[in-house]
Structure 1
């Protein structure tokens, strides 16, 4: 009976670990689509898996257009976020970290496309 119980516990831990591994791909896709200006949040991923995340801006810049040399020629605002997130299910949790690059168009170019 003892061996049966130990085998069941190990199989259950392996199942939970496999579930967390399978949800990692979905979690990275979800994080890329989240509003990271919110700084933190919690999402239910299904199958008892919870995603908790915190985001912070690592770097921010506005690249200048190659043709224009004046300061008002910013085309995009680039933001690099570092997102720390945890996937947890039934008492088992794993910590991860990833970078997410976001951009926002500040103005459009009036050049004809070829």
Structure 2
């Protein structure tokens, strides 16, 4: 599942359509920026900061119903806290681009242009 439409509708009812679109666009931009930060943190093997950074972005995704993106970020966070971090994180972080694109397309399909 990429999106939880019920959560998105609740946010739309609370914030209004224009504010929802702005919020979603900002969340996607934040996650894209986070992806670059995660790559930098990975190269310096700063797994604790990497986990915290992923955690922060996963909360933003969850708050607007982007469940697929939230799950990907939580997996990165949890992996960064474990022994598999050096070997598993490169693939998980590189896969984030596809999740962001998938989420953007699903949002546009659901609510129109952001």
- Please give the TM-score of this superposition, normalised by the length of structure 1: 0.37
RCO (CA 8 Å, sep 6+): is it higher in 1 or 2?
2
Higher helix share: 2
Higher strand share: 1
- Please give the TM-score of this superposition, normalised by the length of structure 2: 0.37
* Structure exhibiting the larger radius of gyration computed from Cα positions: 1
